Amino acid sequence: MTSELHRLLEAANARIQHGNDERAAGADDKARTIADEAARRGRGGPRQLADELGVSEKTISQAIARARNTPIGSGRTLPPDTLERVLAAERETLPPLSGLQWEALARLVRETVIDVLWIEQPGGLLAQDVEDAELDQSLEPALLAEACRGFSRVQALAVIDACQRGDVATLPVKDGVAWTSQ
């Protein structure tokens, strides 16, 4: 399969998942509305509501049970692929580096334990890794470290994500500088 085909299928699946998530959120909203109204009406409220809505009392009790089991505030959430979309958008804003520089950075990332401390200053920590590594001078380590320091927090996290997933080819490459392996 071509990468374009994969991209289109992933986009279609994301839309389907978004629809499913919205449908579930709508059902949760409906259940909470019914439960709130039944409670507001007090004793006999579920029966009155069932009559008014033209549904069975069982339907009302199922809605009330669903509302009890639905976490508060879960009615609206971001689409499930939000993180992937944000990281992809940030990759598009990165300054282009040579394919060899991205590959070297990817090797460093894969050899590094990335933990929650990286959230605060991922670009600075990437730059430190570049400076601590014994990279070939043809990779211009000082310029690579400077580029890493210039990444915004989200750009740096997008780079780390691409490197960890082995998806370095999604990072922008300088004109006329080809990739070697990936």
User: What are the tens digits of pLDDT across the range 17-55?
Assistant: 888 888 888 888 888 889 888 889 889 889 999 999 999
pLDDT at 72: 66
Let me know: does 87 contact 161? Beta carbons within 8 Å.
Answer: yes
Residue 143, pLDDT > 70, answer: yes
pLDDT at 101: 95
pLDDT at 180: 47
What percentage of residues in the chain have a pLDDT greater than 70? 92
Highest-pLDDT range among 64-73, 75-84, 119-128: 119-128
Structure tokens at 120: 């605060």
Residue with the bigger pLDDT between 12 and 163: it is 163
In 3D space, the residue among 62, 71, 100, 94 whose CA is nearest the CA of residue 160 turns out to be 94
Provide the Cα torsion 156, 159, 163, 169; round to 10°: -170
Q: Choose the weakest-confidence range: 57-71, 73-87, 136-150.
A: 73-87
| DSSP H/E element including 112 | none
- As to burial, measured by CB atoms within 10 angstroms (0-12 exposed, 13-18 middle, 19+ buried), residue 167 is middle
Report d(CA 133, CA 105) in Å as an integer. Answer: 10
In 3D space, the residue among 175, 176, 173, 157 whose CA is nearest the CA of residue 102 turns out to be 173
Provide mean pLDDT across the span 77-106.
Answer: 91
